[in-house]
Amino acid sequence: MELITRTLLLGLALSLTNAAPAHQDKPAPEDGDAALPDRCEGIEFDAITLDESGKNPFFFKEGHLWNGFYGPAKPSTMFFKELDEHHHLGHVDAAFRMHNPKKQDAHDHIFLFLDDHVFSYYNHTLETGYPKTIQEDFPGVPTHLDAAVECPQGECITDSVLFFKGQDVYVYDIVTKTVKTKTWPHLPLCTSAFHWAEHYYCFHGHNFTRFNPVSGEVSGTYPKDARNYFMKCENFGHGGDHKAPKCSEVKLDAITTDDRGRIYLFTGLNYMRVDNRRNGLHAFPITRGWKEVTNGVDAVFSYTNKMYLIKDDQVYIYKTDAHYVLIEGYPKSLREELGIEGTVDAAFLCPSEHTVHILQGHMIRDVDLTATPRVINREIPLPLPDIDAGLCGPDGIKVFKGSQYYLYESPMIFATSRIAPVPRNITSGMIGCED
């Protein structure tokens, strides 16, 4: 089990409990850099945002910034030259990156806010017509902001930007350009905010607090020192320097795709989302997303905006809204919910279909999810027993066994084939292991 769990810990160096790489010696100052701010001394950032690629963060402090989780500060004008050449800005109040393919005129643009104005950058160049007043681009959003962070649909109710001013949060709907105001007095006053790998962080002083972007709820023990998670500083760290396992040692417990196209894999007590790899691959405890599931999973599948997690003889069903919410009355027994008994090895359901394929030992059992009560409507001996996980997608059926997987064109071919296809190896491109 320790080896299995290490599979998902490969992302801990950039997560929270595993938010970002840590515990590396501080780089030596470059010639003439003695006056540069040092974030390892514990400073309060003015703003934080991802760069246009979505791979590295910018940490702003007065006229300087850090591009990434380690390295010395650089003048902001190296990346946003107009800030000084034309506007003589010493700092920014807030910043966020707009990642929204449906809004092509602003997709992957970086927005910087100062006083009552907003600056839009693309390819490190100020867009024509900027700066504008905040009201021109974001009507209803106040001036002199403290922080800002984008929140896409699926993590928020709609594609949104959260703007912070004092203890008020202005939720700006990107499509309708309307604003709803919330007050979160339990959250510290955020001087910057950051979205990383489906998690949201309020920075205050040299500390941070993770929060729910819909409710503002804080779960866990906070605040935490940012130097242990979001930068590499000597004598700081959270034990996240885990070495990725060899791909030949990987074993999955479950894998699924939800209705929004988010791909999750599970192993041990952790899970990883793998469809947003441009933000890096990061492992988190399963209880972070599905808090009632405390002992890992045997199988997972998704159906009609709900995710089914199976452990032992229990089925947990979660609504896949902005965040996963356990449906009232669950968990229920496998027999009550799916009409089956015994241990489940794997389960998968193909897009737009209503039959879930349950793999148990040497058998595959099909259950019609539209039937009430649910019963097994087909049982077929498996040509390939003891499967660990299964996933149905546009390219066919992938069934995982140990560090390899088998690709079939359809569930029927999988169930009726008597000769297994040539196994393929799990690769680093799939989950970040070492080839």
What are 120-175's pLDDT values in tens digits? Answer: 999 888 999 999 999 999 999 999 999 999 999 888 999 999 999 999 999 999 99
- Same structural domain for residues 113 and 197? yes
Region 255-283: what's the mean pLDDT?
Answer: 79
- Same structural domain for residues 186 and 328? no
Residue 38 three-state SS: coil
- Same structural domain for residues 152 and 270? no
Long-range contacts: 224-228, Cβ < 8 Å, 24+?
A: 225/42, 227/22, 227/39, 227/40, 227/42, 228/22
Cβ-count burial 108-138 (b if 16+ within 10 Å, e if not): bbbbbbbeebbbbbeeeebbeebbeebeebb
Q: Which residue has the higher pLDDT, 5 or 184?
A: 184
Region 408-414: what's the mean pLDDT?
Answer: 91
Structural domain contains residue 80: yes
Whole-number Å distance between alpha carbons of 237 and 234: 8
Whole-number Å distance between alpha carbons of 405 and 390: 9
Q: Choose from 18-32, 125-139, 279-293 the range with maximum mean pLDDT.
A: 125-139
- Same structural domain for residues 150 and 259? no
- Same structural domain for residues 210 and 261? no
For the record, the structure tokens of 9 come out as 């810990």
Tens-digit pLDDT profile for residues 314-333: 999 999 876 788 999 999 99
Domain of residue 211: give its range: 39-228
For the record, the structure tokens of 38 come out as 């040092």
pLDDT band at 206 (very low <50, low <70, confident <90, very high): very high
pLDDT band at 298 (very low <50, low <70, confident <90, very high): very high
- Same structural domain for residues 380 and 421? yes
Tens-digit pLDDT profile for residues 77-124: 888 877 665 555 568 999 999 988 888 788 889 999 999 999 999 988
pLDDT band at 11 (very low <50, low <70, confident <90, very high): very low
Structural domain contains residue 159: yes
Least confident of 16-20, 202-206, 240-244, 301-305: 16-20
Query: How do 109-114 and 94-98 pair as beta strands?
Result: antiparallel
What does the pLDDT read at residue 275? 67
- Same structural domain for residues 342 and 381? yes
Total of domains in the chain: 2
Domain C-terminal end among 181, 210, 228: 228
Taking every pair of Cα atoms in the chain, the longest distance, rounded to a whole number of angstroms, is 75
- Same structural domain for residues 260 and 160? no
- Same structural domain for residues 79 and 119? yes
CATH code assigned at 264: 2.110.10.10
In the sheet with 57-61, reading across from the earlier edge strand, the strands are 47-50, 57-61, 64-67, 74-75
Structural domain contains residue 135: yes
Domain C-terminal end among 183, 213, 228: 228
- Same structural domain for residues 76 and 155? yes
Structural domain contains residue 28: no
Structural domain contains residue 233: no
- Same structural domain for residues 157 and 221? yes
What does the pLDDT read at residue 196? 87
Whole-number Å distance between alpha carbons of 90 and 84: 8
Structural domain contains residue 249: no
Residue 123 three-state SS: coil
C-alpha 132, offset from chain centre: 32
Backbone phi, psi, residue 335, to 5° = -65, -45
- Same structural domain for residues 65 and 195? yes
What does the pLDDT read at residue 36? 85
Structural domain contains residue 34: no
Region 415-420: what's the mean pLDDT?
Answer: 86
Handedness of CA 227, 230, 234, 236 (dihedral sign): positive
Backbone phi, psi, residue 74, to 5° = -130, 155
Q: What percent of the chain has pLDDT over 90?
A: 59
For the record, the structure tokens of 245 come out as 């396992």
Structural domain contains residue 235: no
Instruction: Please choose, from the candidates 98, 94, 131, 129, the residue with its C-alpha nearest in 3D space to the C-alpha of residue 113.
Output: 94
Backbone φ/ψ region at 68: left (φ over 0), alpha (ψ -120 to 50), beta: left
